[in-house]
Amino acid sequence: MIDDRHQGVASEPVRSLRGHRLAFGYRWAMGVVGAGALTVLIQLPAVRDEPFFVGVNATVVMSLVALGHYLVAQHEERFTGLCFVAAAAGWIVLSLDVHPTWGSLPSWLFGSAIVYTSLGCGVLRWGRSRLDADGRRWVAVALIGTTGATIPIALVSRPEWLGFSPAAFWPAPWPDPTASTALAVVASAGFVVVGAWFARVALRRLRSATPAQRRILRPLSLAAAGWGGAAAVVNAVGAMSPGLLPLHANSTVVGLLSIGVTAALATAINRGRILAATFVDALPTERTPESLTAYARSALSDPTAELLFVVPGRPIVIDGAGRLRELPDTTRGDRFVQWITGTGGEPVAALVGGPALRDDPAAVRSFAAVLSIVAENQQLHAVLRMRLAQLNAARAGERLALDRARAQFRRDLHDGVQQTIAAARMDLDGLLDDLPDRGGDAAEELAGKLRLALDQIRGLERGTAPPELSSGLDAAVARMATELRLDATRRITAEDLGVLTLPAYYLLREALTNVHKHAGASHVEIVVEPSDGVLEVVVRDGGSGGAAVRAGRGLAGLRDRVAELGGTLTVESPTGTGTTLRALLPSVPA
């Protein structure tokens, strides 16, 4: 069923795709150029002696601001874009040591922490709705580790020991060269560990991506992994031996690597723009509702993905076979739903998959755009199958109605004609002894005919509905639960279900028998409720769980019998938490 949680979002994929259009206009250009000019202005003292260093810094800041602005313009990438803008600001802070009097201390304490944490967070967050657990842990450790490593060194060092000017403002209350060297060694090891960890997280994301996304992420992941490892090594060398490298050599190397990362991200963004073309090329040649579901599972690397179709004009969804389905509850976070719209902007299908799809919104949006091309046609096929299933259900209902009429006829025979004939036969048997031989022969022949009539009536009577249903379905279910020693909570809102009364009774009888035999539960909840043209039958126990629909077993047979009536049977049975059996039967005329 389609509930209120999903209303109003049918055109969201279209709006999201439109939001990807970005005009690189006057303001964007002025922002990028302004960031580069500000960087040069702040580093003006180094322009004469270190023009290459200043040029690299300006290029890094401009590239980070350009990417940050682009990603902020895409509403779902706003946080990622802000990470790159923060990295640009951190790069400016990192190069403040060109002002030896006051810039060395903030550069040492905060520059590296801001740059590495912000840039790393942006790379790991791009293309996702949120960071995964590994990414969150890395960001926390990088932020705490970089600041936690630089502050103790600053407290026990002189600026010249770290490669800065002796005239720099550096309030070190406990200068100690031995402690400074020891802490530098520890900090260097920490830089290497954090850098190697970042490379591992970036490459793990690449390996776990879908095939289409792997092509997009490959340049970014490889460049980011190289950046993380090389930057960690360069900073470790600079921390342990400040005089080993020329002034600003480590910043220049890391800056060039950072430019490589931004270039790789631009490449990934460009590849992402043609992702829809990749999905189009992979479309199955023979398109059916089932092949589209298989296509979704393959393209998104999600074996649980499924395409459900909206029935026009009705608040229900069906699968490719035309069977009634329910949309998962997305508020629990264990399932994901993406709506597929038609040419008129109305929802025609819903892509249902695992929660991992929520972390890859760019791929899902592109995939939804491609599915919108073909899903509308397949919606017609699915609806046609539903109509055929309803027709079969109506025919089954006609057969059930005929069986019900026959059963009523047999009961009438039993309660009327059979009782009358039986009484006549008893009276005739009492008269046989009083009649003469000649009359007795005639009476004996008549008694034989009466016996034959009774046998014929009993033959017609076989196959009638269980007599316990004569008092109604609720009473029959209560009696059945008592016989099975089950404490049953019942909610049966309709006593007469028409031709579905007998199938519902047999369904409940087998389900309760299974609970008695296998579940090990003493309490069971039973619900029989007609609603919106569907009869819902639910049996829920608090037993051991672990039940599964296996070919040739009882639940499989039960599912097949429900399917014959045009309905669906689902079984939820987590181990240790009980079993819920839910059957949906389309109502048929009484």
Give the integer Cα–Cα distance in Å for 189 and 233: 9
Relative orientation angle of helices 177-208 and 112-125, to the nearest 10 degrees? 10
Tell me if residue 311 falls in helix, strand or coil: coil
Q: Which CATH number fits domain 469-586: 3.30.565.10, 3.40.50.620, 3.40.1160.10, 3.10.129.10?
A: 3.30.565.10
Predicted local distance difference test score (pLDDT) of residue 20? 40
Angle between helices 361-412 and 437-461 (to 10 degrees): 170
158 pLDDT more than 70: yes
pLDDT bucket at 58, cuts 50 / 70 / 90: very high
Reduced to 3 states (helix: H, G, I; strand: E, B; else coil), residue 443 is helix
Q: What are phi and psi of 512, to 5 degrees?
A: -70, -35
pLDDT at 422: 65
The pTM of this model reads 0.52
Closest CA to 521 of 579, 478, 571, 569: 579
Phi-psi category of 322—alpha, beta or left, where left has phi over 0 and alpha has psi -120 to 50? left
Per the CB < 8 A criterion, the answer to whether 117 and 162 are in contact is: no
Question: What single-letter amino acid sits at 310?
Answer: V
Q: What are phi and psi of 7, to 5 degrees?
A: -75, 150
> How many C-beta atoms surround the C-beta of residue 331 within 10 A?
8
Sheet hosting strand 347-353, strand order edge to edge: 324-325, 317-318, 306-310, 347-353, 336-341
Rounded Cα distance, 149 and 155, in Å: 11
Tokens of 589: 């005329």
Residue 360 has pLDDT above 80, yes or no: no
Rounded Cα gap, residues 366 and 20, in angstroms:
11
DSSP states of 155-173: HT--GGGGTS-TTS----S
* Least confident residue range of 272-276, 365-369, 448-452, 507-511: 448-452
Pick the range with the lowest mean pLDDT from 8-22, 268-282, 467-481, 574-588: 8-22
For 424-458, letters b (16+ CB in 10 Å) and e give ebeeeeeeeeeeeeeeeeebeeebeebeebeeebe
CB atoms within 10 A of CB 302: 20
d(C-alpha 348, C-alpha 344), whole Å: 10
Dihedrals phi, psi of 53, to nearest 5 degrees:
-60, -45
Whole-number Å distance between alpha carbons of 245 and 234: 9
User: How far is CA 325 from each of CA 129, 383, 537, 555, 558, rounded to the nearest angstrom?
Assistant: 28, 13, 14, 19, 18
Q: What is the mean pLDDT of residues 329-354?
A: 83
pLDDT band at 553 (very low <50, low <70, confident <90, very high): low
Rg (CA), the chain: 38
Of the listed ranges 66-75, 178-187, 411-420, 460-469, the least confidently predicted one is 460-469
Q: For position 5, what pLDDT does the model report?
A: 39
Q: What is the topology classification, in CATH, of domain 27-273?
A: Rhopdopsin 7-helix transmembrane proteins (1.20.1070)
Q: For the chain, which residues make up each domain, given as ranges? A: 27-273, 286-397, 408-461, 469-586
How would you list the strands of the sheet with 534-541, edge to edge?
487-492, 523-531, 534-541, 579-586, 568-572
Question: Three-state SS across 545-564?
Answer: CCCCCCCCCHHHHHHHHHHH
pLDDT at 274: 65
Q: What confidence tier does 454 reach under pLDDT thresholds 50, 70, 90?
A: low
Among 375, 395, 394, which residue's Cα sits nearest to residue 320? Answer: 375
Closest Cα partner for 227 from 106, 64, 85, 89? 64
Lowest mean pLDDT among 9-18, 49-58, 136-145, 273-282: 9-18
Rounded mean pLDDT, 319-346 = 82
Give me the mean pLDDT over the 574-581 stretch.
85
Tens digit of pLDDT for each residue in 398-429? 677 767 776 666 666 656 665 666 666 666 66
* pLDDT tens, residue by residue, 233-242: 776 676 666 6
Q: Which of 178-182, 251-255, 407-411 has the highest mean pLDDT?
A: 178-182
pLDDT band at 543, cuts 50/70/90?
A: confident
Closest-CA residue to 111 (of 130, 126, 91): 91
Percent of the chain at pLDDT above 70?
A: 77
- pLDDT top residue among 450 and 586: 586
Q: For residue 478, give the 3-state DSSP assignment.
A: helix
Q: What is the DSSP string of 352-388?
A: EE-GGGGG-HHHHHHHHHHHHHHHHHHHHHHHHHHHH
Is the Cβ–Cβ distance between 407 and 451 less than 8 Å? Answer: no
Query: Using CA atoms, how far apart are residues 448 and 305, in angstroms rounded to an integer?
Result: 70
The two beta strands, 317-318 and 324-325, are: antiparallel
